């Protein structure tokens, strides 16, 4: 029998090609005044923008638009909230990648609470309980990666007053989107580098949730489903996009990765993550390493280090069998014995890293001199659910291997 567990709140999921067309009806259920939060350019310039605006107006919805470039900061969120407090929208619609969704999620959280990001931001904020209420938030991802459409946290990046950079979460179950629309048509324009980085983020989140000390029968089922979806889809979608294949040729892969990313968000929200996310958080606060790319760069080396540490110090850990399961799923060979499946997992992850053309940490300006500080900062909440406690020299060796 498993240990007791709970399943966190989820949005209503609307899944399938063409389902963006339902957004006006979804939004109208919450009111007549919508704030659309998108990335800087890509969705605004896509073929989907004009029909969406026409449909929103036909549904009697007054809309305003906020474009977010790069990772959202507390200042961006607080500024957007302050500008709208007198006449707040009834619904916030985030359409974009993880940064646009996180910005929309945080803005929706603060429009009616009367508080600011730094009242609640973990680690660097005032530590006040979030009072709510959150404005209804609808999430429409245009990439397949972060899983922000189903999680309760918004990641914000900034600088401490007079201090160093930070990247921290504003987190509350009330922030979870009411509805998430997963329409793979919106992923047709993803450039190969985005497919690679976001896809490796999803893959990392799935593997870390599956092997987390916080895993449950629910997260196991979701993480395995996501890994199976990603196994066939990510390398072939990336290769087709690199070759300039027409969108119709990649629909099956886009749908599979959209679902894999959603599963990764559900799994991480309920099981927690592991060492890759612990190290990436420390890297991202210090160097311009995009989150998903950083995950992809570190995933094979970290998995190898976790397996070696488990074999040496916790040979009875259930995580070893879970890594073997992941190896069988990615290899799509269910008869692979445990030991061979774990070897195959590391080999597959390494092969994907190379096939997807991921860079090395030195490409972001990292040098051996940065190692001690990154190691010291890597022990955040993600690291605490890693299947084995890694030592400082083990973490340093992972980073050195990826330099
Ligand atoms: Zn991630």
Q: Are 60 and 28 in contact (CB under 8 A)?
A: yes
What is the band of 312 on the pLDDT scale with cuts at 50, 70, 90?
Answer: very high
Distance 33 CA to ligand 1 centre (A): 32
Residue 150, pLDDT above cutoff 90: yes
CA 281 to each of CA 84, 141, 329: distance values in angstroms, whole numbers, following the listed order = 31, 22, 27
Q: What is the maximal distance between C-alpha atoms in the chain?
A: 64
Q: Kindly give the residue spans of alpha helices, DSSP state H, lying in 314-337.
A: 318-331
- Residue-wise pLDDT for 73-132, tens only, equals 999 999 999 999 999 999 999 999 999 999 999 999 999 999 999 999 988 889 899 999
Residue whose tokens read 């000390």: 213
Residue 70, pLDDT above cutoff 90: no
For residues 189 and 241, give the distance between their C-alpha atoms in angstroms, rounded to a whole number.
9
Distance 62 CA to ligand 1 centre (A): 34
For residues 341 and 44, give the distance between their C-alpha atoms in angstroms, rounded to a whole number.
44
Which among 263, 226, 31 is positioned nearest to 147, based on CA atoms? 263
Distance 223 CA to ligand 1 centre (A): 14
- Residue-wise pLDDT for 126-146, tens only, equals 989 999 999 999 999 999 999
Looking at the DSSP bridge assignments, the partners of residue 155 are 169
pLDDT at 1: 60
Tell me which H or E stretch contains 339: helix 338-355
Q: Are 217 and 5 in contact (CB under 8 A)?
A: yes
Tell me which H or E stretch contains 403: none
Distance 205 CA to ligand 1 centre (A): 6
Distance 335 CA to ligand 1 centre (A): 30
Which among 261, 147, 163 is positioned nearest to 203, based on CA atoms? 261
CA 143 to each of CA 137, 140, 189, 194: distance values in angstroms, whole numbers, following the listed order = 18, 9, 9, 8
The predicted model gives 351-371 an average pLDDT of 96
Distance 337 CA to ligand 1 centre (A): 29
Distance 307 CA to ligand 1 centre (A): 20
Distance 202 CA to ligand 1 centre (A): 7
pLDDT at 247: 77
For residues 365 and 371, give the distance between their C-alpha atoms in angstroms, rounded to a whole number.
12
Residue 183, pLDDT above cutoff 70: yes
The predicted model gives 362-390 an average pLDDT of 95
- Quick one: what percent of the chain has pLDDT higher than 90? 88
Distance 82 CA to ligand 1 centre (A): 29
Distance 295 CA to ligand 1 centre (A): 7
| 308 or 44, higher pLDDT | 308
The mean predicted confidence, pLDDT, of the chain is 95
Distance 146 CA to ligand 1 centre (A): 6
Q: Are 301 and 398 in contact (CB under 8 A)?
A: yes
């Amino acid at each position: 029998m498993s240990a007791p567990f709970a399943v966190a709140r989820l949005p209503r999921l609307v899944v399938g090609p063409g389902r963006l067309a339902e957004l006006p009806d979804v939004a109208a259920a919450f009111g007549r005044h919508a704030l659309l939060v998108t990335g800087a350019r890509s969705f605004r310039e896509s073929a989907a923008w004009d029909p969406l605006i026409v449909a929103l107006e036909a549904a009697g919805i007054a809309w305003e638009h906020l474009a977010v470039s790069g990772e959202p900061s507390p200042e961006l969120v607080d500024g957007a909230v302050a500008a709208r407090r007198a006449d707040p929208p009834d619904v916030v619609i985030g359409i974009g990648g993880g940064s646009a969704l996180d910005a929309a999620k945080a803005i929706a959280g603060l429009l009616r609470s009367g508080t600011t990001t730094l009242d609640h931001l973990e680690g660097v904020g005032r530590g006040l309980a979030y009072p709510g209420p959150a404005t209804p938030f609808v999430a429409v991802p245009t990439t397949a990666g972060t899983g922000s459409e189903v999680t309760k946290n918004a990641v914000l990046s900034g600088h401490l007053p007079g201090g160093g950079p930070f990247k921290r979460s504003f987190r509350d179950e009330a922030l979870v989107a009411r509805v998430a629309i997963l329409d793979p048509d919106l992923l047709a324009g993803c450039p190969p580098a985005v497919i690679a980085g976001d896809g490796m983020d999803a893959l990392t989140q799935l593997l870390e949730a599956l092997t987390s000390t916080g895993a449950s029968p629910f997260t196991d089922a979701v993480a395995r489903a996501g890994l199976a979806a990603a196994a066939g889809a990510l390398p072939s979608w990336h290769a087709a996009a690199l070759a300039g294949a027409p969108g119709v040729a990649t629909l099956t892969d886009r749908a599979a990765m959209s679902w894999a990313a959603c599963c990764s968000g559900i799994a991480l929200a309920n099981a927690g993550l592991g060492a890759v996310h612990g190290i990436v958080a420390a890297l991202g606060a210090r160097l311009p390493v995009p989150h998903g790319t950083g995950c992809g760069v570190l995933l094979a080396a970290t998995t190898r280090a976790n397996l070696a540490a488990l074999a040496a110090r916790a040979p009875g850990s259930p995580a070893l069998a879970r890594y073997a399961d992941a190896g069988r799923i990615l290899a799509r060979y269910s008869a692979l014995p445990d030991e061979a499946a774990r070897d195959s997992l590391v080999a597959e992850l390494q092969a994907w890293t190379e096939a997807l053309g991921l860079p090395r940490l030195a490409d972001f300006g990292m040098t051996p001199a940065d190692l001690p500080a990154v190691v010291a900062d890597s022990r955040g909440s993600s690291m605490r659910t890693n299947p084995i406690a890694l030592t400082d020299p083990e973490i340093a060796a992972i980073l050195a291997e990826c330099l």
